[in-house]
A and B are shown apart, each in its own frame.
Chain A
């Protein structure tokens, strides 16, 4: 049977029973919202535990109580977020079974075993979480603490496995193994082949990193809110610090995300050129412009937050004059990056442009310019971090000056490499140019690595120019953290649309066709409305969870008023005369 005939037959047998109706947003809209909100919560409950165990470990090793407290605070949020995840998961499941019964039957036929494993793991995961949270006080010391930390690790293991299974299902829809038909898998192709399909591993990596980013951003937003609501300087100091840590993790993991993205893109191209091209140059080409706008905002806000943070560091004044140049550079790069490149041109447009590329957009819009811009933005952000770290330190090692000069040289070399290949890229074939991005990225990564290593040594036993005055932060800075969190959430929604939109009118690419009236892939405007709707639902629920967290905290204090309450644990300096000694960042 030719594929076309099979599809025709499918269309014929697709009676009205294949799709359900949903009032208002329609079937697709309902599944969209349920899936996206579920995914956002899932990212939350995967990202935040990563954090919790890392901070708990730092707490155990450094014996610094503030880390333990931070970790505990994250976990409290998790308990509520967990139920929300399960709830939205159930909604998604019901939406799929009632609105897309035929498609869902196809999926269950192939994946049923993995679905049972999935729910069992979910169950085990919840129990681990309850033990982890409610056992906090019980296993606080000695070996008990390590056991407790082990629970945290297990929590991550379960959570990640659950994600890997779900990723198997959705990547199957993008890149099913050869031979799959609407009737199921051919002989010799197992469920495992369907799970471990061409895009599975890259999506796993991409999502794992993105979850860490997302966890950090949400934690930072939580801290920002508590900072604004804080009544005492101690509280302000604690939440200022928490916001800083969250943001630091979000941004530093975010920097590696594009590389995982490139890899995923390459796998998609390799699986099916047409799908890859639809993604980057087809009707979706404009999506990347919107993405560039969002990422530009992310970089600007992250840097802005760091620059404002210098105000709480004595000695940072020396660096303030440079920030305006960095701002300028960021903006120039942002503009270059958001310039459109490959767009579908109709015949008339082609004729009127006199070629496939717009004469002006052509210069800024091609990959060379974009890669250069992004790499320079990453370098600039790294520089901000570095300045921030250095601000209150005075190195005591004799070679400090030379070291700094070498660091400076590394920056210059990396920037020069990026620029050189950026410009040279205009003079070579596309296929050669793609290779250049590897050199650019390599130079930036080498610079980050080399400079960090030198910095660690320069900072050894450094003299302090004064303590970081945690809590002494203008309120504006906290709003920057909100913008970051909202932007990350929206970005996740947008990328979700890109990932599932490139399948176009296929439930399962070239295996099962979408024959519903909603089969077309909507334009970005409509998609943006849906994304915004999901983001707002998610954020309101998260706000509710934060509020509940506050209630729970107050309740637990009312029951057992601890002597130190929200008082600042040792190790945090408060913006108050005579505060405890500081350990820096």
Chain B
């Protein structure tokens, strides 16, 4: 009987050993925690780019989508003859400079959807801190373009201690023109109006016949409320930050405008 016992033991060890060995000979990839950066206002562009490269290849998880070319546009190699991302970033949105566009791509990825792709890119603010995001922007700029991220950008967008978080994203303008706000604040990325814009969310044509002004106001401030019928699958996709990005006057301008689109 001992012989049998030993044989059974040997088989078990052999099988376990075999699988363990297989798992050891494949590449050993480990998923890192995003490293907390402490990039002050005096940081050099080189340091930013180096930190950004680490985030891009590691903790940022960017390569999971951008490393393949099928799920997301290539960033560090050419995409459709438009060059690497540093070269094409300035031409994406008229009037938007490269740096602002890249920052927006990472923080409000749905604001502009590159044609041919699904709006799957996550808001990186959930994963990365602000200086990490700026470092990633610097790294992307270095891919075919010029790095103009500075310590000041980080300081500007970092939340002031103790105070309510400052609005993130491109600097606010004071326009009260709803149509300008429509494109400036990125609603255009998801909502169609007069045949323009992305078709992720409901079209804005005739929205006033569906919703009252109060309901629209609430929807913009708290997008999780009262999901539009037929769009349940997309619930939660609309950024919840508009309440902080719009001034009260801008918000009211948009609400009145929309409520009147019967």
The answer, yes or no, to whether A321 is at the interface (CB within 8 Å) is no
Query: B81: CB under 8 A from chain A?
Result: no
Q: Does B159 contact A (CB under 8 A)?
A: yes
Q: Which residue of B is nearest A277, CB measured? A: B64
Mark out the residues of chain A between 299 and 357 whose CB falls within 8 Å of any chain B CB in the assembled complex: 342-347, 350-351, 355-357
List A contacts of B29 (CB < 8 A). 283, 286, 344, 523-524
Q: How far is the CB of A178 from chain B (nearest CB, A)?
A: 5
* B4, A229: Cβ atoms closer than 8 Å: yes
| Inter-subunit contact B24/A528 (CB<8 Å) | yes
Contact with A along B7-29 (1 / 0, CB 8 A): 11001100111011011101111
B175-214 toward A: CB 8 Å interface, digit per residue (1/0)? 0000000000000000000000000000000000000000
Q: In the complex, what residues of A have CB within 8 A of residue B33's CB?
A: 504-505, 514, 519-520
Q: By the criterion CB–CB under 8 Å, are B22 and A4 in contact? A: no
Neighbouring B residues of A293 by C-beta, 8 Å:
19, 22
CB distance from B155 to the nearest CB of A (A): 16
Provide the bound-state CA to CA distance between A519 and B32, in Å: 8
Cross-chain contact B12 with A527 (CB below 8 angstroms): no
Contact B67 A4 (CB under 8 A): no
A281 to chain B, nearest CB (A): 6
A482 touches B26 (CB 8 A): no
Rounded to whole angstroms, the CA-CA distance of A577 and B101 in the bound complex is 85
By DSSP majority rule, is chain B's interface helix, strand, loop, or mixed? loop
Asked whether A532 lies within 8 Å of B19 as measured between CB atoms, the reply is yes
Q: Are B165 and A272 in contact (CB under 8 A)?
A: no
Is the pair A527, B64 in contact by a Cβ cutoff of 8 Å? no
Tell me the complex Cα distance, A355–B74, Å.
Answer: 10
Is there a chain A Cβ closer than 8 Å to B39's Cβ? no
Please determine whether A4 and B64 come into contact, CB atoms closer than 8 angstroms. no
* Contact call A178/B68, Cβ cutoff below 8 A: no
Q: Which of A69-77, A158-166, A483-491 contacts B (4 or more CB under 8 A)?
A: A483-491
CB distance from A511 to the nearest CB of B (A): 10
In the complex, are the beta carbons of B27 and A286 less than 8 A apart? yes
Residue of A nearest to B120 (CB): A273
Q: Which residue of B is nearest A485, CB measured?
A: B12
Partner of B20, one of A179, A344, A479, A528: A528
Measured CB to CB, the nearest residue on chain B to A338 is B22
> Which of A1, A8, A347, A505 has its CB near the most chain B CB atoms (within 10 A)?
A347
Q: Bound complex: CA of A297 vs CA of B18, how far in Å? A: 11
Report the Cα distance A5→B168, complex, angstroms.
12
Contact between chains at B7 and A479 (CB < 8 Å): yes
B174 CB-CB contact with A under 8 Å: no
* Shortest Cβ distance from B3 into A: residue: A228
User: Do B28 and A524 touch across chains, with their CB atoms under 8 A apart?
Assistant: yes
Q: Assess the A482–B19 pair: CB atoms within 8 A.
A: no
For window 123-167 of B, CB contacts with A under 8 Å fall at 125-130, 159, 165
B70–A356 touching, CB < 8 Å: yes
* Complex-state Cα separation, A435 to B185, whole angstroms: 37
- For the residues of A in contact with B, the DSSP-based class is helix
| B8 and chain A: residue at smallest CB distance | A482
Would you call B71 and A482 a contact (CB within 8 A)? no
| A482/B11 contact (C-beta < 8 A), A277-B71, A278-B61 known | yes
- Beta-carbon contact of A532 and B16 below 8 Å: yes
Within 8 A of B (CB), among A153-181: 178-179
Say yes or no for A521: interface residue by CB 8 A criterion.
yes
Chain B min CB distance to A535 (Å): 6
The answer to whether B88 has its CB under 8 Å from any CB of chain A is: no
Interface residues of A in 274-294 (CB under 8 A from B): 274, 277-278, 281-283, 286, 289-290, 293-294
Q: Check A347–B76 contact: CB distance below 8 A.
A: yes
Give 1 or 0 for each of A509-546: 1 = CB within 8 Å of chain B CB. Answer: 01000100001111111111101100110010000000
Docked Cα-Cα span, A297 to B23, in Å, equals 15
Chain B residue, CB-CB nearest to A289: B26
Known: A4-B129, A228-B4, A350-B76. A274 touches B22 (CB 8 A): no
Chain B residue at smallest Cβ distance from A482: B11
User: Are A483 and B15 in contact (CB-based, < 8 A)?
Assistant: yes
Report whether B26 and A524 are in contact in the complex, using a CB–CB cutoff of 8 Å. Answer: yes
In the bound complex, how far is the Cα of B241 from the Cα of A425, in angstroms? 42
Instruction: Choose from B8, B16, B125 the contact partner of A2 (Cβ within 8 Å).
Output: B125
Contact yes or no, A529 B22, CB < 8 A: no
Task: Tell me, in angstroms, the Cα distance from A39 to B115 when the chains sit together.
Answer: 46
Q: Are B26 and A274 in contact (CB under 8 A)?
A: no
B125 touches A3 (CB 8 A): yes
* Inter-subunit contact B30/A522 (CB<8 Å): yes
Contact with A along B225-258 (1 / 0, CB 8 A): 0000000000010000100000000000000000
Contact residues in A for B224 (Cβ distance below 8 Å) = 178-179
Chain B nearest CB from A398 CB (Å) reads 48
Q: In residues 51-107 of chain A, which contact B (Cβ within 8 Å)? A: none
Within 8 A of A (CB), among B49-77: 57, 61, 63-65, 67-71, 74, 76-77
Can you list 6 residue pairs at the A/B interface with Cβ under 8 Å?
A277-B71, A347-B76, A505-B33, A519-B33, A523-B28, A528-B24
Binding site for B on A (CB under 8 A): 1-5, 8, 11, 178-179, 225, 228-229, 272-274, 277-278, 281-283, 286, 289-290, 293-294, 297, 342-347, 350-351, 355-357, 430, 479, 482-483, 486-487, 490, 501, 504-505, 510, 514, 519-529, 531-532, 535-536, 539
Q: 4 closest Cβ contacts across the A-B interface? A: A528-B23, A523-B28, A521-B31, A282-B64
Contacts beyond the supplied A350-B77, A505-B33: 12 A-B pairs with Cβ under 8 Å: A2-B159, A2-B165, A225-B8, A282-B64, A286-B29, A290-B26, A344-B64, A521-B31, A522-B30, A527-B23, A528-B24, A532-B19
